[in-house]
Amino acid sequence: MDAGTAMRADSRGGDIDVTLRDLSQLFRSLDPSPFREGNLTADAEAYFLNKVKEQPDDHPVRIVIHLPARNLTRRPSFDIATALTGHFAACAAAETKRLHEAIRTWRQAALIGFVTLSICLFLAWQITHNFPARPMTRILQESFVILGWVSVWKPIETFLYELLPIRRQQRRHLFVRLSSAKVFICDDA
């Protein structure tokens, strides 16, 4: 959340304390639709992710939302705590799904790439051993070797730069922690 939203927050004592002027700072829409978990603003989501990242993993997450007393009298028709934790549970499930999809796609690309590499290396070997040594033969042989290695470029790149970094799993872990947070709504008089 940025300074322009006039929101005050503090995470002393392990709690994530958030003081709001209005619930619209937290939720995009106060409509009690069945898709409430998608209503959290991007700024609020990023804010909670950053705050929970600062906390130790073994520490339970508590979110304390302070609203002006005037807002508690006209509360929305949905449960704020459920909407908040539901949003993070949906985000954790989406991260898990994206990770599984990336692994499945990588497996397919790796299989295609390594089969293509094997065929190309075999053809290059066949050309080397069955054709006379000429410049054209050498060009054809090297072309198959290059084609074979290019076919595994994307699976190797995906493995090294998308699957290997645990950043995706860390983000999922933060969403899981936030989905199990205890949420308290307080009125500020």
pLDDT for 30-44, tens place per residue? 655 555 445 788 888
Q: Is the Cβ–Cβ distance between 53 and 5 less than 8 Å?
A: no
Measured from the Cβ of residue 7, the count of other Cβ atoms closer than 10 Å reads: 19
Specify the pTM.
0.70
Q: How do the domains of the chain map onto residue ranges?
A: 3-91+181-188, 96-170
Average pLDDT of 6-18?
58
67-100: per-residue pLDDT in tens? 887 655 455 656 788 888 888 999 999 988 988 8
Burial of 59 (0-12, 13-18, 19+ CB in 10 A): exposed
184 vs 120: which has the higher pLDDT: 120
